[in-house]
Structure 1
């Protein structure tokens, strides 16, 4: 793939790169997106009807079982070429910060060291009542498991529809969008707010916004560079082009 020389110069000159990723990056590892139809026992359910506080209050066992099913789907999946190339940026640029909408933890597993998980992490749990984090160390017959502090019900450590993002994560993501030299927007449909506003904010602050996605999104209109294709193909090629001999995939 041929890349604009201006894009390569911007990357090589960057002191701080922010990388914002969405479900498209994880989909390349085999993780279904929320827009995909449910399968198997969950074929008659909509994800939007299960991932809510109201659904958990109404039927906590069903919601917990659905998240256990999702965890089983993800358990043996591995970071893909995009995850690995993004992590490799840390060897090429003085500072790289990940901002992700994904909850699977694959950026951590790929080696990224500074990751803001806007929507939480599916492998974590906390109490629905007292909000204390919980680590499940022994098997239990309770569905959902109970909190050791208050005996409340445990829930997955993700942000559900209708819930606000945690303030520290959101404020840090907004600050990075304002100050990073280059802002990548990779594999996101740009439909879920407020996260979808980050690339617009970065552009309004004069940052160089680079979009990588197989399909057009609302960000095409203001991104400085739009690269059409899969992240697992484009990101390694881009690193090789910007840093010959040092980029992933060389």
Structure 2
């Protein structure tokens, strides 16, 4: 009865896809997972960049499309400098410019179905905790 259901990023995506599909196409695994979610009250979600990439926020390390691969215009000494406090103290402009592009409400950045699913878990009192390195906060948006 005190067991916790842990949803890794892949499972969150799978759950969301399952909810969106017609029930006639659900596998036995999908149905069992949905029942576990329905019957659980302490769900832990662990989410990474994959949760927000469908919203238009790049992950950090993917070749060509990742954030670190597209920072040339800032002429940084190294890609991680954009998040380095010492670098920021001497030159805040690159971080402030980047923050405007990935902050919710900026441009077309909007929560996706995965974010709404996490929000729904919280609203229904099923979310125990969410661990994420994401900085966008989209799971908190309405």
Give the structure-2-normalised TM-score: 0.60
For residues 91 and 50 of structure 1, the distance between their equivalents in structure 2, rounded to whole angstroms, comes to 35
Q: Which has the higher contact order (CA 8 A, sep 6+)?
A: 2
Contact 1:34–1:47 (CA under 8 A) maintained in structure 2: no
Structure 2's unaligned 5+ residue stretches are: 1-17, 19-25
**Larger strand proportion of the pair:** 1
- For residue 97 of structure 2, what is the aligned residue in structure 1? 69
**Deviation digits for residues 128-177 of structure 1, max 9, x if unmatched?**
xxxxxxxxxxxxxxxxxxxxxxxxxxxxxxxxxxxxxxxxxxxxxxxxxx
- After superposition, residues 145-164 of structure 1 pair within 5 angstroms as none
The 2-side partners of 1:45 and 1:81 are apart by 37
**Could you tell me which of 35, 49, 52 is aligned with 2:81?**
49
Residues of 1 paired with 2:40 and 2:87: CA distance?
A: 45
Whether 1:78 and 2:110 are equivalent positions in the alignment is yes
Match of 1:87 in 2: 119
* Higher percent of residues as helix: 2
State TM-score, norm by structure 1.
0.37
CA spacing shift, 1:73–1:17, aligned 2, 3 Å: same
Unaligned runs of 5+ in 1: 111-250
1:34 aligns with 2:60: yes
Contact 2:71 2:79 in 1 (8 A): no
Larger radius of gyration: 1
Secondary structure, counterpart of 1:32 in structure 2: coil
